[in-house]
Amino acid sequence: MPIKTFRGLISDDTQVRVHLQTKDGTTGYRIVKLDVMPADTAKLQQSVLKIYKVEQTAINDDINFSDETMIAAAYLTKNDDTKYPIVLESFFDTEIFNQDIYITHKDASTGESINYYLELEQVKLDGTETAIATLKNIKNRG
């Protein structure tokens, strides 16, 4: 299936909506890649980027894999000793979704921005899969 890519620069304490929802809901998506990179390689950074199935009312740097609405997280730490990331980790769920997703970013160190690159695989959903994905979304918005 085709791959859709999204990339951008996201400021500290910000949320970005990725528009994916269709009228009939028969197009699903699955994350296949998530990368992050500092915007300014000369500055300290301790960033957490997360992707959710629902809009967030608060943005923080806590990562909780028990949160069923969070489908991905990336963590980047950079200190004074180098221009390059010291720690870079990203994790994502292989769940298929058919609604908009929300990317949040929080830098707990100096309030820096971060670049993100996201690849989503498009998946054609049949009637049952469409209903399941949509019902999961309704439950999460609950």
Q: Evaluate whether the domain defined by 3-141 bears CATH number 2.60.40.
A: no
Amino acid at 71: I
pTM over 0.85: yes
Amino acid at 7: R
Q: What's the DSSP call for residue 65?
A: T
pLDDT in tens, 31-64: 999 999 999 888 889 999 999 999 999 999 999 9
The predicted structure's pLDDT at residue 67: 94
pLDDT in tens, 119-142: 999 999 887 777 777 666 666 666
